[in-house]
Amino acid sequence: MGGLANAAVAFDNYRKSKRGVRAGRRMGRPRRKSERGARLSCRFTTGMIRVDADRRHVTLPRLGTIRTHENTRKLQRRLAAGTARILSATVTFARGRWFVSFQVEVIRDARTPARSDTVVGVDLGVKHLAVMADSTGTITYVPNPGHYDNALARLRRLSRRVSRRRGPDRRTGRTASRRWVKADAERNRVHHRVADLRTDALHKLTTAIRAQHVTVVVEDLNVAGMLANRRLARKVADAGFGQIRRQIEYKGEWAGGVTVKADRWYPSSKTCSDCGAVKAKLPLHVRVFNCEQCPLVMDRDANAARNLAALAAAVKTGTGVAGDQDAQASNPRGADRQTRATTRPRKRPGERAGGATPHQRTETGIFAEPKRSRSGDGMNLSG
């Protein structure tokens, strides 16, 4: 049943993409999974799906009762109290271990943030993972853990070790040596640990933000376009900007909070948080914002966070103060818009350079966020 449900979702997404009603990149026709590269997983939606009372075993259809490596007390308590209901179970092989993930419908108690009267603006960056400024004027800096950079030296050493071993070759049918398999597994463990550390840090950050504030203002960043920059791609990918915004949104729904997404072209870094003047240019290497209209001098990330915090009140009241989306910028040249790249058509035989057609404008890549599914609790099945 799990395969049929996935196929139905794939064809539905393909149909919506063809009609132009689905956001994101254009989806092609669904294809069969490759036996060689497909992820080993199986989803059960019917049959005996149970978490045993001893909190050490789970019962799945066709597989029977299996012992888990992790304790299942959190899920078993909710099931016994009647505040959770298992919808499906997915068994997956990843990172050299077998995992079972339960899709659970949970009844949660109403959560009330500690500071319900404040608004916080969250400015994401590479030097600091997040700079938060609330409506009271408090500015908080969250350092970037840089998990991948910390493990980069070890990954390079292990990658050189893998390259010196005899690896697999599908063209000649050569199989990998045992030494290559062992070295590749050791390198993969480092990658998996970096991914786990990043996931844990992002969840802790977003949970702390939602536990303190009701209204959170975040930026609609063009992550796909930022990844095209070869100088910043590794830093941006390690930070996980898209995950931060996604988690802030759905965790805000749990707590009954409000998430305000600033427009992608809103000049939060180039706007003065005191007088509202907008700079025409502010290069990335300039880390201090120096206003030319007033004596404000402060860190550019903190200035952007203050503008984002003030944007929530401006959107609600429409006062045009501190970045109202309906207000006109003070710069008539349109400093809040990035310069779009223009491309010239190639020179055709018998024509002059540039061709007879006008210059064609090309847009940067648009980041599309995947849809969120219901919460699931995963646990390790390996002993």
Is the distance from CB of 375 to CB of 66 less than 8 angstroms? no
Nearest to 326 by CA among 313, 315, 312: 315
Position 313, amino acid? A
Q: How many CB atoms lie within 10 A of CB 49?
A: 18
- How far apart are alpha carbons 161 and 180 in whole angstroms? 8
Packed helices 178-212 and 241-254: angle between N→C axes, nearest 10 degrees: 50
**Which residues does the annotation mark as catalytic?**
123, 219, 301
Which residue matches tokens 């909070």? 257
Q: What is the three-class DSSP state of 76?
A: helix
Q: How many CB atoms lie within 10 A of CB 307?
A: 26
- How far apart are alpha carbons 185 and 192 in whole angstroms? 10
What number of H helices and E strands is found in the chain? 9, 16
Which helix (DSSP H) or strand (DSSP E) does residue 360 occupy?
A: strand 360-362
Cα separation of the two ends of the chain: 28
